[in-house]
């Protein structure tokens, strides 16, 4: 959750500097909005690439015009800050909006079938998030892991209750309390996070006690993540199923044509 504390220029700049001291950092991605010119210049100056997430075609064009190298189109299915247009509609819209820029598809991808669908629709690759919350290698605390493994695809909500901007997370007592009619509306960003940042940190530290009021960012694909797996097994299955899916589609087209 540490990255949530770095939402000002003053605290973000040193992060970029530290990242660039590591030679294996080839790409820096901006999750919220178009990265500012100084960040773009610094990263490009170091010979690395910049990516930026978007939830609308106009954001994709703004990213491209600013000099972003890779656009990540994230549909509403995705976890964390996300827009309200579904991946099935958003991906082709963004791909067509910035035809000369590589687009990665995000939002709802947890299996090779979804990966194949994204590639078929013209994405250059896929970007996954929730998939890594439930791997053995994740830093997810045990009680949060229980929440993630138990959640279904309908157990998430887009809420401003933690950061002030709409983000997808597991629905729990915290999100319900902020959504209630007799409680205040969340503030905007960054004010709401000033209200909640302490709770984020403590929730992570005392996750057992805080289980029902924790910040559990996750996309709707969390419904398919029901066991703890190793990263290498997840990757292997993704690739295998992607290939199988491609072959099924080719076979289907051949059968239909004959």
What does the binding site for its own copies look like in residue numbers (CB under 8 A)?
56-57, 75-77, 83-90, 92-93, 107-111, 113-114, 116-122, 153-154, 219-221, 223-224, 242-243, 245-250, 252-253
User: Least distance from C-beta 85 to its own copies, angstroms?
Assistant: 5
User: Least distance from C-beta 251 to its own copies, angstroms?
Assistant: 10
User: Least distance from C-beta 84 to its own copies, angstroms?
Assistant: 7
Q: How far apart are CA 81 and CA 92, in angstroms?
A: 20
Q: Could you tell me which of 168, 178, 186 has the C-alpha nearest to residue 86?
A: 168
Q: Which is nearer to its own copies, 156 or 197 (CB)?
A: 156
Q: Which is nearer to its own copies, 175 or 197 (CB)?
A: 175
Q: Which is nearer to its own copies, 84 or 233 (CB)?
A: 84
Sign of the CA dihedral running 122, 124, 130, 136 = positive
Q: Which is nearer to its own copies, 75 or 203 (CB)?
A: 75
User: Least distance from C-beta 195 to its own copies, angstroms?
Assistant: 21
Q: Which is nearer to its own copies, 83 or 129 (CB)?
A: 83
Q: Which is nearer to its own copies, 113 or 202 (CB)?
A: 113
Q: Which is nearer to its own copies, 111 or 147 (CB)?
A: 111
User: Least distance from C-beta 127 to its own copies, angstroms?
Assistant: 13
Instruction: Write a three-state SS string for the chain.
Output: CHHHHCCCHHHHHHHHHHHHHCCCCCEEEECCCCCCHHHHHHHHHCCCEEEEEECCHHHHHHHHHHCCCEEEEECCCCCEECCCCCHHHHHHHHHHHCCCCCEEEECCCCCHHHHHHHHHCCCCEEECCHHHCCECCCCCCHHHHHHHHHCCCCCEEEECCCCCCCEEEECCHHHHHHHCCCCCCCCCCCHHHHHHHHHHHHHHHCCCCCHHHCCCECCHHHHHCCCCECHHHHHHHHHHHHHHHHHHHHHHHHHHHC
Integer angstrom CA distances of residue 251 from 112, 192, 246: 17, 52, 9
């Amino acid at each position: 959750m540490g990255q949530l504390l770095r939402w000002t220029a003053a605290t973000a700049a040193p992060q970029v500097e530290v990242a660039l001291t590591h030679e294996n950092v080839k790409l820096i991605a901006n999750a919220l909005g178009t990265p500012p010119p100084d960040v773009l210049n610094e990263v490009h100056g170091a010979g690395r690439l910049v990516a930026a997430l978007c939830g609308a075609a106009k954001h994709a064009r703004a990213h491209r015009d600013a000099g972003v190298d890779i656009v990540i189109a994230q549909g509403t299915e995705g976890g964390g800050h996300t827009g309200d247009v579904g991946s099935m509609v958003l991906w082709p819209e963004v791909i067509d909006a910035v035809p000369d820029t590589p687009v990665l598809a995000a939002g709802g991808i947890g299996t090779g079938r979804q990966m194949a669908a994204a590639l078929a629709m013209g994405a250059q690759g896929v970007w996954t998030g929730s998939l890594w919350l439930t791997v053995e290698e994740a830093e997810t605390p045990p009680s949060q892991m229980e929440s993630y493994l138990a959640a279904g695809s309908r157990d998430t909500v887009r809420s401003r209750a933690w950061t002030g901007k709409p983000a997808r997370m597991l629905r729990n007592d915290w999100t319900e309390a902020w959504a209630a009619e007799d409680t205040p509306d969340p503030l905007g960003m960054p004010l709401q996070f000033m209200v909640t940042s302490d709770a984020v940190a403590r929730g992570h530290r005392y996750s057992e006690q805080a289980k029902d009021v924790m910040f559990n960012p996750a996309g709707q694909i969390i419904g398919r993540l029901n066991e703890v797996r190793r990263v290498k097994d997840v990757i292997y299955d993704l690739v295998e199923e992607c290939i199988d899916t491609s072959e099924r589609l080719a076979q289907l087209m051949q059968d239909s044509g004959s």
